Structure 1
């Protein structure tokens, strides 16, 4: 039997991800930012030396990329394709209610479910609410996969000021993509349109990060803006 090199590489990747600590690192890095080994170690509750070993493994298989700035070493997800893979894999498993060990863990879980970054786009109830509103306004077509309508493209350009012409220079990435939300069990908007929408919300301070993790929440200005632009009732949808 001829040995399949592609199968070997796939198996190596699967083995690299098949560890709770390494999986925790990857999920944390879905916030789209670069983290230090020490930050990831504290996040996963492991020793710094242990974190370093795990990071070397993930870098070796191409899941993570290393960046150095002066004396500091950072790691991040290698690219958006890796981010999509991690989020899609997380969404494949049914949700398992975790044991609430205290108010802090319950609050953190609630914040992530309400709204979070999924690499460079928005997820959780906020991401799904935005997706539903775009579809309801005729800006996003969802019947046969996700696609911006002509009206949606115009809205992105004229209302949000997005340079959609730049999307054509990145043709390897779809304009709109459905990403299964692992907390809502429904799809939210990813792709170039999802990334641009997320960036606009951050640039205009309509969304803000909660602490140093992936969780985000709407600002008062964001609540008003999404109500005026898309008819989203933040209080009714549990986004406040």
Structure 2
């Protein structure tokens, strides 16, 4: 049984989510404002938080920003803001997924299940296809096969593989993996991701290691047992 914190100021929506999640076998807790949510996330981190963006007291993105300095538990954003900038900002702050309102409660339950499964399986990458990164010498191997990465490719892979399943926008990858060169464009990220995919698939052709999320960015997805 997973413990789910629901942060939602609309009582009707929160009640429906609680009913569906409990029916799916989860334990739930509900808070209705941002400051209370932040306190609960820090004092007793749940297995997953469903976090509305528009909240009284402290907005959801501010809650997420402050919580991420202390806890890495998965967070799914609930948002009525459908503009890409809001989705990207939430993901760059460390959200694991988002659901746009109005939504089906069944969809939310399915997203919760998928994120929890992804988190539970993070350590379970198959040994035969283990990725090894030698940061001292900029070397990477997959399934025992050297990948022969450039430094840019190595930094990208290193950044994404530290958080399997997390979606990184191009802007966030530029910030994290290209911090020594401010002149690199987002188009360069696409080029390096393409090269990374090719080299990873050569060493492990049965699995697609990097997932593209349309309109958002990329995620590193290792195989699981």
TM-score of the superposed pair, with normalisation by structure 2: 0.28
The structure whose residues are more often strand, as a share, is 2
Which structure's relative contact order is higher, taking Cα pairs within 8 Å and 6+ residues apart? 1
